[in-house]
Amino acid sequence: MPTIKDVAKRAGVSVSVVSKSFNNYADVKEETRQRILAIAKELNYSPNINARNLSSKKNSTLGLISSGVLNDNEKDSNAFNIFKGVYQEVTNSRFELSIYLIDSHQQKQQSYVRYCRERNIGGAILQGIRTDDQYYMELIDSSLPCVVLDIMAETANGLIGSVSIDNAEASREIARHLLERNHRKIAVMSGTRETYVNSERMKGVAEALGEYGMELGGIDILEASFSEEMAYELAKAYLLEKQPTAFLCFSDLMAFGVMQAVKEAGLRIPEDISVTGFDDLLLSRYTQPPLTTIRQDFMEIGKLSARLLCDIIEGKLERQHIWVPHELTERESVKRLPSEPLAEKEMREII
């Protein structure tokens, strides 16, 4: 069984430097830390995380790193509800909470790892982080325990956990909801291409289309970056040229923009065009008509992420990923179209 002394000898450093590397001290250069971690992995050495954390006061603070709270759309309460869930769970634990609000689009100034180390943060929850964020991979490859939301981290790091709904299954359900109601001219209003949830939701749509003999390449896809304003502008321009029977939107915010564009085009929802969303924001039940969408329990996601992070830090980890249940909430924004006459369908198949 390899020891910390074996790692120190192979790395050519003192035992204290190895210990500091595993305990996230800020006075160890990142290059040195990564070299020590690589040697430890090579030797199959793993520190006693449970004992280390219980004996260290520096690990009594958890960090919530979030970009969603800075969203300038007052209709979007998702990030705030996650924050409430995290806060409620942390207040019932031995930990304290430190919050770091960022703009993920402009995050170029500070490493998340360095932020946590400088503030003696023992573990972090990442919310609203883009997978192309330059500091994201640094964090999940470090020795800092963390939980990521809505991302399935591709890493063998046992200190990384994740919490999300099954986005692929949820989008398959809502796409199937439209297809079962005979919608075939479907336009997808997708989010930010670089996000994990967007790719998963696209995967679910593709699977649902495949069940009906259709392909993703056979429908129109508009990319609105989860923005209400961008979805409105894209839908407005799109409706000048085409009229789908339904818009399938990857967020309620984008659905709000689409609904506005549809109405300004002189069309009715759902009589002329059906619209679906994703998230079930509070306002979704009050739109005209109320919006059919996928409901996520964001407070529960926050609670479970904090609970999972505590388990990782205290060495009680039983599973690295937690699936949170979702629900297809059917309201009045989707119309069932008449089924295609059998004779016409058979004639097309013959041709």
User: How high is the pLDDT of residue 310?
Assistant: 92
State the pLDDT at residue 70: 57
More confident residue, 75 or 50: 75
Average pLDDT over the chain, rounded to an integer: 87
Is the pLDDT at 53 greater than 70? The verdict is no
pLDDT tens, 244-271? Answer: 999 999 999 999 999 999 999 999 999 9
Tokens matching residue 17: 């430097």
Would you place residue 30 in the very low, low, confident or very high pLDDT band (cuts 50, 70, 90)?
Answer: confident
Q: What is the mean pLDDT of residues 221-250?
A: 97
Q: Which of 13-27, 106-120, 231-245 has the highest mean pLDDT?
A: 231-245
Which pLDDT does position 109 carry in this prediction?
A: 59
pLDDT mean over 1-12: 87
Contact present, 289 and 256 (Cβ < 8 Å): no
pLDDT beyond 80 at 104: no
pLDDT for res 342: 47
Q: What pLDDT is stored for residue 50 in this prediction?
A: 44
| 339 confidence band (pLDDT: 50, 70, 90) | confident
More confident residue, 334 or 33: 334
pTM over 0.85: no
Considering only residues 98 and 156, tell me which one the structure prediction assigns the higher pLDDT: 98
pLDDT of 170 higher than 80: yes
Tracing tokens 């970056």 back to the chain, one arrives at 225
Q: What is the pLDDT of residue 54?
A: 43
- Angle CA 120–125–130, to nearest 5: 120
Q: Is the pLDDT reported for residue 108 higher than 70?
A: no
- Residue 115: per-residue pLDDT: 80
pLDDT at site 103: 67
Confidence of residue 351 (pLDDT cuts 50, 70, 90): low
Which strand ranges, in their side-by-side order, compose the sheet holding 220-223?
220-223, 186-190, 246-249, 274-276
Percent of the chain with pLDDT over 70: 86
Within a 10 A sphere around the Cβ of 5, how many other Cβ atoms? 12
Confidence (pLDDT) at 110 = 66
Task: Note the pLDDT tens digit of each residue in 275-297.
Answer: 999 999 999 999 999 999 999 99
218 pLDDT more than 60? yes
pLDDT of amino acid 158: 77
Q: Which tops the pLDDT comparison, 118 or 204?
A: 204
